[in-house]
Chain A
Amino acid sequence: MYGFEAMTFNIHGGYLEAIVRGHRSGLLTAADYNNLCQCETLDDIKMHLSATEYGPYLQNEPSPLHTTTIVEKCTLKLVDEYKHMLCQATEPLSTFLEYITYGHMIDNVVLIVTGTLHERDVQELLEKCHPLGMFDSIATLAVAQNMRELYRLVLVDTPLAPYFSECITSEDLDDMNIEIMRNTLYKAYLEDFYRFCQKLGGATAEIMSDLLAFEADRRAVNITINSIGTELTRDDRRKLYSTFGLLYPYGHEELAVCEDIDQVRGVMEKYPPYQPIFSKLSYGESQMLDKAFYEEEVKRLCLSFEQQFHYAVFFAYMRLKEQEIRNLMWISECVAQNQKSRVHDSVVFIF
């Protein structure tokens, strides 16, 4: 697009950008969250939400509500919006929108495979899958016994197929394997998405590379922390890091040899953008790290709305909406389990 997006962007992208910005203004605000946090029962939450964009989705639910219903309906709204946008989109925006869902696809695949490994009912597992990451033959995942079969039977038809090239082994599936598979897939996905955005060029490439780099770095940190004390070797760990982002390559070298959380912290504090995240945490603490990362992510996502004529707003909107649903889930859980003191632990205000 050579920096002249403003001239041509609106021909194809204008309508959808307007739509997504309209959706964005429907996101819950800090005032909404404050009100929600004061709710006594789930009915109160429903009542409050019925005054927001979620109203039509919740109004026909009978009264003893469950957290799952709320989350389900809110997710349904997101899915409806996504599908509407996907229907209206033209190339390359439609591909971009599809890329957004691949992450959920990976999660769903992992969920089903792990579930079958532990002999859970397939239908039950399917209900737990994120609707954005559904594909036609997802139910057949249960048939597969090992990676090779998994690939050959089911995944070869899905967009995830190219990402599998690195993890086809004939080993039987076990928890460790699956987790490695998830991370390998995710790595390949992020790299592919990154390349795709670079190809799009212009403001999209600029903003998306920033957002994806943050995502990659966060995954790297999470992988490191989660693999501390497991049998994963350093080389294996290094292989799971995506080959871009602020930490690449030197940070990865250092992360790969970390043995405890404080070493990770030491590595990360060398990078100015991540300093404030870690400076908020006390030493040895990793509980609040997730929230700190989420907050940082939300900040970055919100910033992407400041520019016009690029696709990152779609990515940002989907992510923000997912964060919102996570918030709602947390609040409803806290309310349902009478743990109102913990409400603020995990809620990330968006605006």
Chain B
Amino acid sequence: MELLKNLPEMDLMRSEKMTFVQLIIPVESAHRAVSYLGELGLLQFRDLNDDKSPFQRTFVNQVKRCAEMSRKLRFFKDQIHKAGLLSSVLPTLQPDVDLEALETQLSEHEHELIEMNANSEKLQQTYNELLEFKIVMQKAGVFLVSGKTYETAEGRELDDNVYLSDYPESASLLEQATQSGPSISSGLRFVSGIIPKSKVLLFERMLFRATRGNLLFNQVPADDHIMDPVSSEMVEKTVFVVFFSGEQAKTKILKICEAFGANCYPVPEDLTKQTQITQEVLSRLSELETTLDVGIRHRNSALHSIGVHLTTWMTMVKREKAVFDTLNMLNFDVTKKCLVGEGWCPIFAKPQIQEALQRATFDSNSQVGIIFHVMDAVESPPTYFRTNTFTNAYQEIVDAYGIAKYQEANPAVYTVITFPFLFAVMFGDWGHGICLLVGALILIARERKLSSQKLGSFMEMLFGGRYVLLLMSLFSIYCGLIYNEFFSVPYHIFGDSAYRCRDDSCRDAYTAGLVKYRDAYPFGVDPSWRGSRTELPFLNSLKMKMSILFGVAQMNLGIMLSYFNSIYFNNSLDIRYQFVPQMIFLNSLFGYLSLLIIIKWCTGSKADLYHVMIYMFLSPTDDLGENELFWGQRLLQILLLLSALVAVPWMLFPKPFILRKLHSERFQGRAYGILRSSEVDTDSEPGSARQHVEEFNFSEVFVHQMIHSIEFVLGSVSNTASYLRLWALSLAHSELSTVFYEKVLLLAWGYENILIRLVGLSVFAFATAFILLMMETLSAFLHALRLHWVEFQNKFYAGDGYKFKPFSFAAIADDED
């Protein structure tokens, strides 16, 4: 016992000792203190204003200002993104600007940008209009020339009887028309304009309906795309010319044009006038273009100067916001001159925190120091493990099941080795192991680069588990060497096989078997087993027994950990009435089975272990006959059976009754203190620790204990059986890889055709990569996970704690990514 207590402390075994602390910070140094604590990242603040809504808290204005600033920053980012600038992050040595300065700076920048945007938008609008005008002019001009023939033809029909005699040949009419504006004389008018292409169809239909078909609609797609000033996207547009007659129709058409957002531009019918205006428009266009260019260049340079600082500003604002959010969790004390905060911190961090607080007092020239003292707390402390990059992934595996109770034995310590090992038992192939190793090494070698960039969810998972992958691959190389499988092919690495054929011809090697002629193969499975008739029975028996040994060992480890937990929490009740009977029960049945397995392996006996185990229950007094492995086995079996039977009520009944007795004793003791306890209730301050009276419900406790006992008794059988998955998956893996090797690669290699060989090789490679390396890895991973979560951890792990979440700037920066 003494030896166990004097063991050096394992860091990861128990979570850090935490303490509940109270801070009393003078208002003037509060901000600085909290931001220093954020840099330190070792104190978890408790929200003391839980009942207040966010806008009723003290520093709500500052939080709002920060939100406003981050909105501006988002606006800048958006603008920079839209302008297509790459925000080059230069590590500028900019002196720390304070928040006020930054705020004014930001609003200046925003104002400037908005103004510039408005200007360029206005310019863009004029530019668009001119451009559209130009296009309409070009396109509609064509219509007008060809349209005039229509018009005249129509006009002649309309006014046939009126002007019949006056009209000479149509050629001269055309001439006359160009001169005097025929549309007016014939009552025909036109509207020309431009409209987004997507609306043309509807527009035409609407016009048709509104004028009852009395119109002529011409359209032609514009060549240039025009920028939409709102969304700054290029829009395809169509030029249209509508010919119609009548004043009423005109107002209707114009209204419809307006409703559809079609821009109408008057096109002079006169050709000379047309060219003149076109000239004018073109010159103005080029002018505008240069103005726009200058504007854009100006804007880009402004954006660029913002972009240099953007990331620094963003982190700064984010930090400020976090600081104020934290300050909002603090309470004012009675004098309104100090802020009171409460929180959890690990004990080892106390000097660091104190140092940071002193620094804050000094830096803010405060007269009064910050008071930092330890308090008692009612609730249980958070769980905090100091992990490193290597152990973190394993801790995550355990945390995914449940966060450890405060100071509870941490299964992650063992998981570091047992998890990759159990994985490898199911994934034993040193060829595949080397592939995994290469992958893991690549991930680790590029660690620095990969950790800074954003990865896809799958890649991120792989990267997060890179050290798990590393150990998994190393162990699967090890297990693969024991199974002697390299992509399912056995190799003679450790010398020659212990077996040889009976004669030189080796004819009856498969039927009669081989003979052993030298010592056993030094390491792992003898390669000669491969392809022999007894390969499967031999390997199955080996792996099955091995699985049971591993399972019993791991479950025993789990129960042992429950012992260490009880020692740690000074719970002798659990040791006496839970740990001891559990140990006895498990080991008298399955521990005994493991013993038999080992004896059988050592002695080479041919006893049937199934038979031994089954008849141990059915008729324990019978003679074992040829299945007897050692002297006194029958007696031992009877003894074990009896002790297992005794163990069940032992773990079921005493504990709840003793608990009840203890409780009633405590309750009687309290009978004296009723008066005092009521006094305590009245002046109990919030947050101060008081042993609160827990209800004792005997039936509940008893049912709970019953469930636990039944679970353990049934569980020890089903969990042992569950470990057989180690054998099953390993068998499946080796059989699958054998199939791919023999039925794909060897089959293809049998042909002399290079093409078939290539196809076979590629199919083999794909099957190896996707089915064996990915799917099988995943399934073996999941099974190993289950063995740890269910079979191992249910023996001792409560997992009902909560994680330590310190206020830390580093965590805030991570969150954003």
**Interface: B704 (CB within 8 A):** no
Q: Which of A47, A59, A63, A143 contacts B252 (CB 8 A)?
A: A143
Complexed CA–CA distance, A38 and B54 (Å): 11
Residues of A within 8 A of B60 (CB): 44, 47
Contact indicator A140/B55 (Cβ below 8 Å)? no
Contact indicator B55/A44 (Cβ below 8 Å)? yes
**Interface: B53 (CB within 8 A):** yes
Contact indicator B54/A140 (Cβ below 8 Å)? no
- Please, what's the 1-or-0 string for B552-592, where 1 marks a CB less than 8 Å from any CB in chain A? 00000000000000000000000000000000000000000
**Interface: A325 (CB within 8 A):** no
Q: Which of chain A's residues 52-77 have a Cβ closer than 8 Å to chain B?
A: 59-63
Complexed CA–CA distance, A61 and B67 (Å): 11
Residues of B within 8 A of A137 (CB): 202, 206, 259
Contact indicator B256/A48 (Cβ below 8 Å)? no
Closest A residue to B110 by CB, please name it: A62
Contact indicator B68/A140 (Cβ below 8 Å)? no
- Please, what's the 1-or-0 string for A19-55, where 1 marks a CB less than 8 Å from any CB in chain B? 0000000000000000100111001100110110000
Smallest distance from the beta carbon of B66 to chain A beta carbons, Å?
A: 11
Contact indicator B54/A48 (Cβ below 8 Å)? yes
Q: Which of chain B's residues 58-79 have a Cβ closer than 8 Å to chain A?
A: 60, 63-64, 67-68, 71, 74-75
Contact indicator A60/B259 (Cβ below 8 Å)? no
Contact indicator A153/B206 (Cβ below 8 Å)? yes
Asked if A139 meets B55 with Cβ closer than 8 Å, knowing A43-B64, A60-B71, A153-B206, the reply is no
Asked if A47 meets B67 with Cβ closer than 8 Å, knowing A35-B53, A139-B260, the reply is yes
**Interface: B258 (CB within 8 A):** yes
Closest A residue to B61 by CB, please name it: A43
16 contacts between A and B (CB under 8 A): A38-B53, A38-B56, A40-B55, A48-B54, A50-B67, A59-B71, A62-B68, A136-B199, A137-B202, A139-B258, A140-B256, A140-B260, A142-B259, A143-B252, A143-B259, A153-B210
**Interface: A152 (CB within 8 A):** yes
Contact indicator A62/B259 (Cβ below 8 Å)? no
**Interface: A110 (CB within 8 A):** no
Q: Which of chain B's residues 302-334 have a Cβ closer than 8 Å to chain A?
A: none
Contact indicator B202/A136 (Cβ below 8 Å)? yes
Residues of B within 8 A of A61 (CB): 71
Contact indicator A60/B75 (Cβ below 8 Å)? yes
Residues of B within 8 A of A62 (CB): 68, 71
Q: Which of A48, A60, A152, A153 contacts B53 (CB 8 A)?
A: A48
- Please, what's the 1-or-0 string for B252-277, where 1 marks a CB less than 8 Å from any CB in chain A? 10011011110000000000000000
Which of B55, B252, B260 lies at the interface centre, i.e. has the most chain A CB atoms within 10 A of its CB? B55
Count residues on chain A whose CB falls below 8 Å from chain B CBs: 25
Complexed CA–CA distance, A122 and B256 (Å): 11
**Interface: B298 (CB within 8 A):** no
Closest 6 CB pairs between A and B?
A139-B259, A44-B55, A35-B53, A140-B259, A143-B255, A63-B68
**Interface: B507 (CB within 8 A):** no
Closest A residue to B201 by CB, please name it: A136
Complexed CA–CA distance, A60 and B258 (Å): 32
Residues of A within 8 A of B54 (CB): 47-48, 51
Closest A residue to B252 by CB, please name it: A143
Which of B252, B258, B259 lies at the interface centre, i.e. has the most chain A CB atoms within 10 A of its CB? B259
Residues of A within 8 A of B259 (CB): 122, 137, 139-140, 142-143
Smallest distance from the beta carbon of A62 to chain B beta carbons, Å?
A: 7
- Please, what's the 1-or-0 string for B3-31, where 1 marks a CB less than 8 Å from any CB in chain A? 00000000000000000000000000000
Contact indicator A143/B71 (Cβ below 8 Å)? no
Contact indicator B75/A142 (Cβ below 8 Å)? no
**Interface: B209 (CB within 8 A):** yes
Complexed CA–CA distance, A137 and B256 (Å): 9
Residues of A within 8 A of B252 (CB): 143
Residues of B within 8 A of A40 (CB): 55
Contact indicator A142/B71 (Cβ below 8 Å)? no
Complexed CA–CA distance, A140 and B206 (Å): 8
Smallest distance from the beta carbon of B410 to chain A beta carbons, Å?
A: 35
Residues of B within 8 A of A44 (CB): 55, 60
Smallest distance from the beta carbon of B229 to chain A beta carbons, Å?
A: 15
- Please, what's the 1-or-0 string for B233-263, where 1 marks a CB less than 8 Å from any CB in chain A? 0000000000000000000100110111100
Asked if A122 meets B71 with Cβ closer than 8 Å, knowing A39-B55, A152-B209, A153-B209, the reply is no
Complexed CA–CA distance, A136 and B202 (Å): 8
Residues of A within 8 A of B74 (CB): 59-60
